[in-house]
Structure 1
Amino acid sequence: EKLGLAQSGVKVVLEQDGTEVDEEDYFNTLEKNTTLMLLTSEQYWQPPSPFRLRRIDGGSGDTVDGGRGLEGLLSRLQSDIGHVSLLGGCELELLSDMDPDSLTDIVPDSCFRTFLDQLKEASGRFLSDKRQAHEAMELLKLYHHSSTDPAPNAASIQPEPKRGTKAQ
Protein backbone atom coordinates (compact mmCIF):
# COMPACT_ATOMS: atom_id res chain seq x y z
CA GLU A 1 0.00 0.00 0.00
CA LYS A 2 2.79 2.43 0.90
CA LEU A 3 4.41 1.85 -2.49
CA GLY A 4 1.21 2.64 -4.35
CA LEU A 5 0.88 -0.85 -5.80
CA ALA A 6 -2.26 -2.95 -5.77
CA GLN A 7 -1.55 -5.94 -3.53
CA SER A 8 -3.29 -8.46 -5.80
CA GLY A 9 -1.31 -7.46 -8.90
CA VAL A 10 2.16 -7.66 -7.34
CA LYS A 11 4.45 -10.64 -7.13
CA VAL A 12 7.75 -11.00 -5.29
CA VAL A 13 10.67 -12.65 -7.09
CA LEU A 14 14.35 -13.23 -6.37
CA GLU A 15 16.45 -10.73 -8.28
CA GLN A 16 19.12 -13.36 -8.93
CA ASP A 17 17.02 -15.87 -10.90
CA GLY A 18 13.41 -14.66 -10.98
CA THR A 19 12.06 -17.39 -8.68
CA GLU A 20 8.64 -16.34 -7.47
CA VAL A 21 8.35 -16.13 -3.70
CA ASP A 22 4.71 -16.80 -2.91
CA GLU A 23 4.81 -18.58 0.45
CA GLU A 24 5.63 -17.12 3.83
CA ASP A 25 7.85 -20.12 4.73
CA TYR A 26 10.03 -19.49 1.68
CA PHE A 27 11.19 -16.18 3.16
CA ASN A 28 12.65 -18.07 6.13
CA THR A 29 14.90 -20.11 3.81
CA LEU A 30 16.45 -17.08 2.08
CA GLU A 31 20.01 -16.09 2.85
CA LYS A 32 20.70 -12.84 4.62
CA ASN A 33 20.67 -9.78 2.31
CA THR A 34 18.94 -11.61 -0.55
CA THR A 35 17.64 -9.07 -3.04
CA LEU A 36 13.97 -9.29 -3.92
CA MET A 37 12.00 -7.55 -6.66
CA LEU A 38 8.37 -6.48 -6.69
CA LEU A 39 6.79 -6.90 -10.11
CA THR A 40 3.40 -5.70 -11.28
CA SER A 41 1.34 -7.79 -13.69
CA GLU A 42 2.74 -5.78 -16.63
CA GLN A 43 6.36 -6.36 -15.60
CA TYR A 44 8.53 -9.42 -16.02
CA TRP A 45 11.82 -10.49 -14.52
CA GLN A 46 15.09 -10.05 -16.44
CA PRO A 47 18.55 -11.07 -15.25
CA PRO A 48 20.35 -8.34 -13.30
CA SER A 49 22.68 -6.35 -15.45
CA PRO A 50 24.93 -3.38 -14.72
CA PHE A 51 23.48 -1.82 -17.85
CA ARG A 52 20.31 -2.12 -19.88
CA LEU A 53 20.14 -1.86 -23.63
CA ARG A 54 16.73 -0.74 -24.78
CA ARG A 55 14.76 -1.49 -27.89
CA ILE A 56 15.10 1.30 -30.41
CA ASP A 57 12.41 2.55 -32.79
CA GLY A 58 13.99 2.97 -36.22
CA GLY A 59 11.60 5.79 -37.15
CA SER A 60 9.54 3.64 -39.52
CA GLY A 61 7.52 2.15 -36.70
CA ASP A 62 9.60 -1.00 -36.83
CA THR A 63 11.24 -2.06 -33.63
CA VAL A 64 14.89 -2.83 -34.06
CA ASP A 65 16.72 -4.93 -31.52
CA GLY A 66 19.15 -2.66 -29.70
CA GLY A 67 21.48 -5.56 -28.93
CA ARG A 68 19.56 -7.97 -26.72
CA GLY A 69 21.75 -10.88 -27.83
CA LEU A 70 24.79 -8.77 -27.21
CA GLU A 71 23.44 -7.55 -23.86
CA GLY A 72 23.51 -10.97 -22.22
CA LEU A 73 26.97 -11.68 -23.56
CA LEU A 74 28.32 -8.33 -22.37
CA SER A 75 26.69 -8.77 -18.99
CA ARG A 76 28.30 -12.20 -18.52
CA LEU A 77 31.68 -10.89 -19.57
CA GLN A 78 31.46 -7.82 -17.37
CA SER A 79 30.86 -10.04 -14.35
CA ASP A 80 33.75 -12.37 -15.34
CA ILE A 81 35.97 -11.24 -18.20
CA GLY A 82 37.79 -14.58 -18.15
CA HIS A 83 34.85 -16.13 -20.02
CA VAL A 84 36.04 -14.40 -23.20
CA SER A 85 38.65 -17.14 -23.63
CA LEU A 86 35.88 -19.78 -23.63
CA LEU A 87 33.69 -18.18 -26.28
CA GLY A 88 33.08 -19.76 -29.65
CA GLY A 89 33.84 -18.22 -33.00
CA CYS A 90 30.36 -16.72 -33.53
CA GLU A 91 30.36 -14.95 -30.17
CA LEU A 92 33.91 -13.68 -30.65
CA GLU A 93 32.97 -12.43 -34.09
CA LEU A 94 29.93 -10.63 -32.65
CA LEU A 95 32.14 -8.91 -30.07
CA SER A 96 34.96 -8.05 -32.46
CA ASP A 97 32.45 -6.57 -34.95
CA MET A 98 30.49 -4.55 -32.37
CA ASP A 99 30.52 -0.77 -32.54
CA PRO A 100 31.26 0.59 -29.04
CA ASP A 101 30.07 4.06 -30.14
CA SER A 102 26.57 2.77 -30.83
CA LEU A 103 26.41 1.18 -27.38
CA THR A 104 27.65 4.27 -25.54
CA ASP A 105 24.62 6.18 -26.85
CA ILE A 106 22.51 3.72 -24.90
CA VAL A 107 24.88 3.36 -21.93
CA PRO A 108 26.90 6.60 -21.64
CA ASP A 109 29.20 5.44 -18.80
CA SER A 110 32.83 6.26 -19.75
CA CYS A 111 34.18 3.27 -17.79
CA PHE A 112 31.84 1.05 -19.76
CA ARG A 113 33.17 2.54 -23.02
CA THR A 114 36.73 1.60 -21.99
CA PHE A 115 35.50 -1.91 -21.13
CA LEU A 116 33.87 -2.21 -24.58
CA ASP A 117 37.01 -1.03 -26.39
CA GLN A 118 39.21 -3.49 -24.50
CA LEU A 119 36.71 -6.31 -24.98
CA LYS A 120 36.50 -5.65 -28.72
CA GLU A 121 40.30 -5.74 -29.00
CA ALA A 122 40.65 -8.88 -26.86
CA SER A 123 37.89 -10.75 -28.69
CA GLY A 124 39.51 -9.87 -32.02
CA ARG A 125 42.81 -11.34 -30.79
CA PHE A 126 41.12 -14.49 -29.47
CA LEU A 127 39.23 -14.89 -32.75
CA SER A 128 42.46 -14.53 -34.72
CA ASP A 129 44.22 -17.04 -32.46
CA LYS A 130 41.37 -19.54 -32.83
CA ARG A 131 41.43 -19.20 -36.60
CA GLN A 132 45.21 -19.70 -36.68
CA ALA A 133 44.91 -22.77 -34.45
CA HIS A 134 42.17 -24.16 -36.70
CA GLU A 135 44.29 -23.58 -39.81
CA ALA A 136 47.29 -25.25 -38.14
CA MET A 137 45.15 -28.27 -37.25
CA GLU A 138 43.93 -28.52 -40.83
CA LEU A 139 47.53 -28.43 -42.10
CA LEU A 140 48.53 -31.13 -39.62
CA LYS A 141 45.62 -33.30 -40.75
CA LEU A 142 46.64 -32.80 -44.36
CA TYR A 143 50.26 -33.66 -43.56
CA HIS A 144 49.22 -36.73 -41.56
CA HIS A 145 46.95 -37.88 -44.36
CA SER A 146 49.68 -37.47 -46.97
CA SER A 147 52.32 -39.24 -44.84
CA THR A 148 50.09 -42.26 -44.16
CA ASP A 149 48.81 -42.48 -47.75
CA PRO A 150 50.55 -45.43 -49.45
CA ALA A 151 51.47 -43.41 -52.53
CA PRO A 152 54.46 -44.78 -54.44
CA ASN A 153 57.69 -42.84 -54.23
CA ALA A 154 60.59 -42.83 -56.70
CA ALA A 155 62.95 -44.97 -54.56
CA SER A 156 60.52 -47.86 -54.28
CA ILE A 157 59.78 -48.18 -58.01
CA GLN A 158 61.73 -51.02 -59.60
CA PRO A 159 61.90 -51.30 -63.37
CA GLU A 160 60.25 -54.38 -64.76
CA PRO A 161 62.68 -56.96 -66.18
CA LYS A 162 62.86 -57.05 -69.97
CA ARG A 163 61.23 -59.97 -71.65
CA GLY A 164 63.52 -62.71 -72.56
CA THR A 165 66.10 -61.84 -69.94
CA LYS A 166 66.56 -63.31 -66.54
CA ALA A 167 65.72 -61.22 -63.62
CA GLN A 168 68.59 -60.90 -61.22
Structure 2
Amino acid sequence: MEVAGSPGAAEPGEIRALKQCLLRRNHSREQYGVAACCLEELRNKACDILAIDKSLAPVTLVLAEDGTIVDDDDYFLCLPANTKFVALAGNEKWAYNNSDGGTAWIAQESTDRDETDSGAGLKWKNIARQLKEDLSSIILLSEEDLQMLIDVPCSELAEELRQSRVAVQGLQNTLQQVLDQREEARQSRQLLQLYLQALEKEGSVLSKQQESGDGFSDERDAVDSGIRESASEIALSRRVLMALKEKPAPELSLSNQDLELVAKADPEALAVALNWDIKKTETIQQACDRELGLRLEQVQSLHSLRSLSARRNPLPGEAQNPKRAKRDLT
Protein backbone atom coordinates (compact mmCIF):
# COMPACT_ATOMS: atom_id res chain seq x y z
CA MET A 1 0.00 0.00 0.00
CA GLU A 2 1.37 3.42 -0.89
CA VAL A 3 0.49 6.98 -0.11
CA ALA A 4 1.38 10.30 -1.68
CA GLY A 5 2.10 13.51 0.20
CA SER A 6 2.01 12.14 3.79
CA PRO A 7 2.22 14.92 6.35
CA GLY A 8 5.69 15.63 7.64
CA ALA A 9 7.20 12.79 5.64
CA ALA A 10 7.65 13.15 1.90
CA GLU A 11 8.02 16.03 -0.50
CA PRO A 12 5.02 16.90 -2.70
CA GLY A 13 4.64 14.29 -5.38
CA GLU A 14 6.95 11.78 -3.65
CA ILE A 15 5.58 8.30 -3.06
CA ARG A 16 6.60 6.20 -0.06
CA ALA A 17 5.57 2.73 1.06
CA LEU A 18 3.58 2.44 4.27
CA LYS A 19 5.04 0.34 7.06
CA GLN A 20 2.65 -1.57 9.33
CA CYS A 21 3.33 -1.02 13.04
CA LEU A 22 1.80 -1.83 16.44
CA LEU A 23 1.30 0.94 19.00
CA ARG A 24 0.52 0.96 22.69
CA ARG A 25 0.96 3.17 25.72
CA ASN A 26 3.40 2.44 28.50
CA HIS A 27 2.09 -0.05 31.13
CA SER A 28 -0.75 -1.02 28.78
CA ARG A 29 -1.51 -4.31 27.05
CA GLU A 30 -3.91 -2.84 24.48
CA GLN A 31 -2.24 -2.51 21.06
CA TYR A 32 -3.36 -0.72 17.89
CA GLY A 33 -2.30 -1.52 14.36
CA VAL A 34 -1.36 1.51 12.23
CA ALA A 35 0.48 2.17 8.99
CA ALA A 36 2.88 5.06 8.46
CA CYS A 37 5.43 6.02 5.85
CA CYS A 38 7.73 7.88 8.23
CA LEU A 39 8.44 8.39 11.89
CA GLU A 40 6.69 11.75 12.12
CA GLU A 41 3.49 10.33 10.68
CA LEU A 42 3.65 7.43 13.16
CA ARG A 43 4.14 9.88 16.02
CA ASN A 44 1.11 11.95 14.92
CA LYS A 45 -1.06 8.85 14.60
CA ALA A 46 0.09 7.68 18.05
CA CYS A 47 -1.16 10.95 19.56
CA ASP A 48 -4.54 10.55 17.86
CA ILE A 49 -5.11 6.82 18.39
CA LEU A 50 -3.76 6.63 21.94
CA ALA A 51 -5.41 9.94 22.92
CA ILE A 52 -2.18 11.52 24.09
CA ASP A 53 -2.54 15.13 25.12
CA LYS A 54 -0.32 17.14 22.81
CA SER A 55 0.52 19.41 25.73
CA LEU A 56 2.60 16.48 27.03
CA ALA A 57 4.94 16.79 24.06
CA PRO A 58 7.44 15.68 23.10
CA VAL A 59 6.13 12.21 22.33
CA THR A 60 8.89 9.62 22.13
CA LEU A 61 8.57 6.30 20.32
CA VAL A 62 10.61 3.37 21.63
CA LEU A 63 10.78 -0.31 20.72
CA ALA A 64 8.41 -2.26 22.98
CA GLU A 65 10.85 -5.16 23.07
CA ASP A 66 13.86 -3.44 24.63
CA GLY A 67 13.11 0.29 24.98
CA THR A 68 15.41 1.45 22.16
CA ILE A 69 14.54 5.03 21.23
CA VAL A 70 13.57 5.40 17.56
CA ASP A 71 14.24 8.97 16.50
CA ASP A 72 15.60 8.57 12.98
CA ASP A 73 13.65 7.91 9.77
CA ASP A 74 16.42 5.74 8.30
CA TYR A 75 16.40 3.52 11.37
CA PHE A 76 12.59 3.40 11.28
CA LEU A 77 12.59 2.29 7.63
CA CYS A 78 15.06 -0.52 8.42
CA LEU A 79 12.78 -2.05 11.04
CA PRO A 80 10.65 -5.03 9.97
CA ALA A 81 6.90 -4.81 9.49
CA ASN A 82 4.64 -5.14 12.57
CA THR A 83 7.33 -3.82 14.89
CA LYS A 84 5.89 -2.97 18.30
CA PHE A 85 6.26 0.60 19.53
CA VAL A 86 5.54 2.21 22.90
CA ALA A 87 4.57 5.87 22.93
CA LEU A 88 6.05 7.81 25.85
CA ALA A 89 4.62 11.24 26.62
CA GLY A 90 6.49 13.94 28.47
CA ASN A 91 8.95 12.48 31.01
CA GLU A 92 7.60 8.93 30.98
CA LYS A 93 10.12 6.12 31.18
CA TRP A 94 9.89 2.84 29.31
CA ALA A 95 9.14 -0.17 31.52
CA TYR A 96 9.27 -3.86 30.70
CA ASN A 97 5.93 -5.51 29.95
CA ASN A 98 5.77 -9.32 29.70
CA SER A 99 3.28 -8.95 26.85
CA ASP A 100 6.21 -7.99 24.60
CA GLY A 101 7.13 -11.62 23.96
CA GLY A 102 9.47 -12.57 26.77
CA THR A 103 12.69 -11.46 25.03
CA ALA A 104 12.69 -7.87 26.28
CA TRP A 105 15.45 -6.41 28.31
CA ILE A 106 14.83 -6.04 32.04
CA ALA A 107 13.24 -2.73 33.05
CA GLN A 108 15.50 0.10 34.06
CA GLU A 109 16.64 -0.11 37.65
CA SER A 110 16.67 3.68 37.94
CA THR A 111 14.16 6.06 36.37
CA ASP A 112 16.95 8.61 36.04
CA ARG A 113 18.99 6.41 33.70
CA ASP A 114 19.81 8.01 30.38
CA GLU A 115 17.61 6.37 27.74
CA THR A 116 19.87 7.49 24.95
CA ASP A 117 22.79 5.55 26.40
CA SER A 118 20.54 2.51 26.89
CA GLY A 119 19.39 2.64 23.27
CA ALA A 120 22.98 2.97 22.00
CA GLY A 121 24.10 0.03 24.12
CA LEU A 122 21.40 -2.25 22.67
CA LYS A 123 21.71 -1.09 19.10
CA TRP A 124 23.71 -4.18 18.18
CA LYS A 125 20.68 -6.36 18.97
CA ASN A 126 18.59 -4.56 16.36
CA ILE A 127 21.39 -4.94 13.81
CA ALA A 128 21.71 -8.62 14.69
CA ARG A 129 17.98 -9.17 14.18
CA GLN A 130 18.24 -7.40 10.84
CA LEU A 131 21.00 -9.82 9.79
CA LYS A 132 18.96 -12.77 11.03
CA GLU A 133 16.08 -11.80 8.74
CA ASP A 134 18.25 -11.02 5.73
CA LEU A 135 21.94 -11.89 5.73
CA SER A 136 22.50 -9.94 2.51
CA SER A 137 21.87 -6.74 4.47
CA ILE A 138 25.54 -6.93 5.49
CA ILE A 139 26.35 -4.78 2.47
CA LEU A 140 24.05 -2.07 3.83
CA LEU A 141 25.70 -1.92 7.25
CA SER A 142 28.03 0.91 8.06
CA GLU A 143 31.57 0.23 9.23
CA GLU A 144 30.52 1.32 12.70
CA ASP A 145 27.73 -1.29 12.74
CA LEU A 146 30.08 -3.99 11.48
CA GLN A 147 32.62 -3.21 14.16
CA MET A 148 29.86 -3.20 16.79
CA LEU A 149 28.79 -6.76 15.90
CA ILE A 150 32.42 -7.90 15.77
CA ASP A 151 33.05 -6.55 19.26
CA VAL A 152 29.98 -8.25 20.78
CA PRO A 153 30.92 -11.33 22.82
CA CYS A 154 30.32 -14.44 20.74
CA SER A 155 28.11 -16.05 23.39
CA GLU A 156 25.78 -13.03 23.59
CA LEU A 157 25.48 -12.74 19.82
CA ALA A 158 24.82 -16.48 19.56
CA GLU A 159 22.05 -16.18 22.14
CA GLU A 160 20.49 -13.23 20.31
CA LEU A 161 20.63 -14.97 16.92
CA ARG A 162 19.77 -18.37 18.40
CA GLN A 163 22.68 -19.95 16.61
CA SER A 164 25.59 -22.05 17.75
CA ARG A 165 28.76 -20.34 18.86
CA VAL A 166 30.63 -21.93 15.96
CA ALA A 167 28.19 -20.46 13.42
CA VAL A 168 28.28 -17.06 15.10
CA GLN A 169 32.08 -17.12 15.18
CA GLY A 170 32.03 -17.75 11.43
CA LEU A 171 29.61 -14.85 11.01
CA GLN A 172 31.90 -12.52 12.95
CA ASN A 173 34.86 -13.65 10.83
CA THR A 174 32.83 -12.82 7.72
CA LEU A 175 31.96 -9.40 9.13
CA GLN A 176 35.65 -8.81 9.83
CA GLN A 177 36.51 -9.74 6.24
CA VAL A 178 33.91 -7.29 4.92
CA LEU A 179 35.34 -4.58 7.18
CA ASP A 180 38.89 -5.37 6.06
CA GLN A 181 37.86 -5.28 2.39
CA ARG A 182 36.30 -1.86 2.85
CA GLU A 183 39.46 -0.63 4.54
CA GLU A 184 41.60 -2.05 1.74
CA ALA A 185 39.35 -0.40 -0.85
CA ARG A 186 39.67 2.92 0.97
CA GLN A 187 43.45 2.63 1.11
CA SER A 188 43.56 1.66 -2.57
CA ARG A 189 41.54 4.75 -3.48
CA GLN A 190 43.87 6.91 -1.42
CA LEU A 191 46.94 5.37 -3.06
CA LEU A 192 45.40 5.86 -6.50
CA GLN A 193 44.68 9.49 -5.71
CA LEU A 194 48.26 9.99 -4.53
CA TYR A 195 49.55 8.26 -7.67
CA LEU A 196 47.43 10.44 -9.95
CA GLN A 197 48.56 13.55 -8.07
CA ALA A 198 52.19 12.47 -8.46
CA LEU A 199 51.69 11.88 -12.20
CA GLU A 200 50.06 15.26 -12.58
CA LYS A 201 52.89 16.93 -10.67
CA GLU A 202 55.53 15.07 -12.68
CA GLY A 203 53.81 16.03 -15.93
CA SER A 204 53.79 19.66 -14.85
CA VAL A 205 57.51 19.54 -14.01
CA LEU A 206 58.37 17.86 -17.33
CA SER A 207 56.31 20.41 -19.20
CA LYS A 208 58.15 23.25 -17.50
CA GLN A 209 61.49 21.59 -18.22
CA GLN A 210 60.57 21.15 -21.86
CA GLU A 211 59.50 24.77 -22.13
CA SER A 212 62.71 25.81 -20.46
CA GLY A 213 64.73 23.57 -22.79
CA ASP A 214 62.94 24.99 -25.83
CA GLY A 215 63.69 28.48 -24.60
CA PHE A 216 67.40 27.86 -24.15
CA SER A 217 68.11 25.27 -26.85
CA ASP A 218 69.16 27.97 -29.36
CA GLU A 219 71.31 29.90 -26.88
CA ARG A 220 75.00 29.55 -26.18
CA ASP A 221 77.70 31.40 -24.34
CA ALA A 222 79.60 33.52 -26.84
CA VAL A 223 82.28 35.04 -24.59
CA ASP A 224 79.63 35.14 -21.83
CA SER A 225 77.40 37.35 -23.98
CA GLY A 226 74.37 35.05 -23.65
CA ILE A 227 73.18 35.96 -27.15
CA ARG A 228 70.86 33.64 -29.10
CA GLU A 229 72.58 32.52 -32.24
CA SER A 230 71.79 30.30 -35.17
CA ALA A 231 73.39 26.91 -35.77
CA SER A 232 76.00 28.40 -38.07
CA GLU A 233 76.95 31.01 -35.48
CA ILE A 234 77.28 28.32 -32.78
CA ALA A 235 79.83 26.60 -35.04
CA LEU A 236 82.00 29.73 -34.83
CA SER A 237 82.43 29.46 -31.08
CA ARG A 238 85.82 29.36 -29.44
CA ARG A 239 88.27 28.03 -32.08
CA VAL A 240 87.05 30.18 -34.98
CA LEU A 241 86.42 33.20 -32.81
CA MET A 242 89.89 32.97 -31.28
CA ALA A 243 91.43 32.72 -34.75
CA LEU A 244 89.52 35.79 -35.91
CA LYS A 245 90.62 37.77 -32.88
CA GLU A 246 94.29 36.68 -32.63
CA LYS A 247 95.47 36.04 -36.19
CA PRO A 248 96.67 39.04 -38.20
CA ALA A 249 95.15 37.52 -41.35
CA PRO A 250 92.65 34.98 -40.02
CA GLU A 251 91.15 34.25 -43.43
CA LEU A 252 94.39 32.55 -44.42
CA SER A 253 94.27 30.12 -41.47
CA LEU A 254 90.64 29.08 -41.69
CA SER A 255 89.21 26.20 -43.66
CA ASN A 256 86.83 26.67 -46.54
CA GLN A 257 83.88 25.63 -44.32
CA ASP A 258 84.89 28.10 -41.58
CA LEU A 259 85.31 30.87 -44.17
CA GLU A 260 81.81 30.20 -45.49
CA LEU A 261 80.34 30.26 -41.95
CA VAL A 262 82.08 33.54 -41.11
CA ALA A 263 81.00 35.14 -44.38
CA LYS A 264 77.36 34.13 -43.85
CA ALA A 265 77.19 34.96 -40.12
CA ASP A 266 74.99 37.78 -38.88
CA PRO A 267 77.24 40.86 -38.63
CA GLU A 268 75.68 42.20 -35.46
CA ALA A 269 75.83 38.88 -33.58
CA LEU A 270 79.44 38.31 -34.77
CA ALA A 271 80.41 41.81 -33.71
CA VAL A 272 79.08 41.23 -30.22
CA ALA A 273 80.79 37.84 -30.00
CA LEU A 274 84.14 39.35 -31.05
CA ASN A 275 83.58 42.54 -29.08
CA TRP A 276 84.24 44.52 -32.25
CA ASP A 277 82.40 47.29 -34.01
CA ILE A 278 80.23 46.58 -37.05
CA LYS A 279 82.68 48.10 -39.54
CA LYS A 280 85.60 45.95 -38.44
CA THR A 281 83.41 42.90 -38.40
CA GLU A 282 82.10 43.51 -41.92
CA THR A 283 85.69 44.05 -43.13
CA ILE A 284 86.83 40.66 -41.82
CA GLN A 285 83.72 39.03 -43.31
CA GLN A 286 84.50 40.57 -46.70
CA ALA A 287 88.09 39.33 -46.44
CA CYS A 288 86.86 35.82 -45.65
CA ASP A 289 84.45 35.98 -48.57
CA ARG A 290 87.23 37.09 -50.98
CA GLU A 291 89.56 34.39 -49.73
CA LEU A 292 86.85 31.80 -50.18
CA GLY A 293 86.22 33.04 -53.72
CA LEU A 294 89.95 32.85 -54.59
CA ARG A 295 90.15 29.31 -53.27
CA LEU A 296 87.16 28.27 -55.34
CA GLU A 297 88.73 29.81 -58.45
CA GLN A 298 91.96 27.94 -57.75
CA VAL A 299 90.09 24.70 -57.38
CA GLN A 300 88.24 25.27 -60.63
CA SER A 301 91.47 26.12 -62.43
CA LEU A 302 93.11 23.00 -61.06
CA HIS A 303 90.22 20.88 -62.30
CA SER A 304 90.50 22.46 -65.76
CA LEU A 305 94.24 21.76 -65.96
CA ARG A 306 93.72 18.16 -64.90
CA SER A 307 91.07 17.67 -67.56
CA LEU A 308 93.29 19.16 -70.26
CA SER A 309 96.26 17.06 -69.18
CA ALA A 310 94.17 13.92 -69.20
CA ARG A 311 93.12 14.54 -72.77
CA ARG A 312 96.72 15.15 -73.94
CA ASN A 313 98.36 12.29 -72.04
CA PRO A 314 96.16 9.21 -72.01
CA LEU A 315 96.89 6.59 -69.44
CA PRO A 316 99.02 3.55 -70.44
CA GLY A 317 97.04 0.82 -72.01
CA GLU A 318 94.39 3.12 -73.46
CA ALA A 319 93.64 2.43 -77.10
CA GLN A 320 95.30 4.81 -79.52
CA ASN A 321 93.63 6.02 -82.70
CA PRO A 322 95.42 4.05 -85.43
CA LYS A 323 96.97 6.15 -88.18
CA ARG A 324 95.81 5.38 -91.68
CA ALA A 325 98.69 3.73 -93.65
CA LYS A 326 99.66 5.06 -97.02
CA ARG A 327 98.69 2.83 -99.88
CA ASP A 328 101.70 1.23 -101.49
CA LEU A 329 101.13 1.92 -105.09
CA THR A 330 103.97 -0.40 -106.12
State the TM bucket, normalised to the shorter chain.
0.5 to 0.7
CA contact (8 A) 1:15 1:36 kept: no
Distance (Å, rounded) in 2 between the aligned partners of 1:122 and 1:73: 15
In structure 2, relative to structure 1, the CA distance for the partners of 1:68 and 1:131 (3 Å cut) is same
Q: CA deviation at 1:133?
A: 0.5
Q: Is the 8 A contact 2:128 2:157 kept in 1?
A: no
Residue correspondences, number:
139
Looking at structure 2, the residues matched to 119 and 57 of structure 1 have their Cα atoms a distance apart, in angstroms, of 31
- Residue 177 of structure 2 is matched in structure 1 by 125
What is the root-mean-square deviation in Å for CA atoms of aligned residues? 4.6
What's the CA shift for 1:56? 9.2
Cα distance in structure 1, aligned partners of 2:83 and 2:32: 6
C-alpha deviations, 1:37-92, integer Å up to 9, x for none? 8x9x98689xx89x94635999xxx8985941111100101110111122121111
In structure 2, the residue matched to 1:5 is: none
Q: 1:53 to 1:10 in 2, by over 3 A?
A: closer
Q: Which residue matches 1:80?
A: 134
Determine which of 163, 174, 194 is the counterpart of 1:142. 194
**Can you give the 5+ residue segments of structure 1 that lack an aligned partner in the other structure?**
1-8, 23-34
Map of 1:11 onto structure 2 = 30
Distance verdict in 2 for CA 1:151–1:70, change over 3 Å: same
TM-score, scaled relative to structure 1: 0.57
Alignment of 1:48-87 (within 5 A): 52=103, 54=105, 65=118, 67-87=121-141
1:92 aligns with 2:92: no
Structure 2 partner of 1:152: 205
Post-superposition shift, 1:118?
2.5
Question: Are residue 101 (structure 1) and residue 168 (structure 2) matched?
Answer: no
Aligned-pair CA distance for 1:164: 3.7
CA deviations 1:122-165 (Å, max 9, x no partner) are 11000000000111111111122222234313973528333145
Q: 2:176 is aligned with what amino acid?
A: G
The one-letter amino acid of 1:125's match is: Q
Provide structure 2 residue ranges, at least 5 long, that are not aligned to the other structure: 1-27, 37-41, 50-81, 89-93, 232-330
Q: Which has the higher contact order (CA 8 A, sep 6+)?
A: 1
Larger Rg: 2
Bigger CA drift: 92-101 or 157-166?
A: 157-166
SS in 1 for 2:205: coil
Cα 1:56/1:130, change in 2 over 3 Å: farther
Percent identity of paired positions between Structure 1 and Structure 2: 14
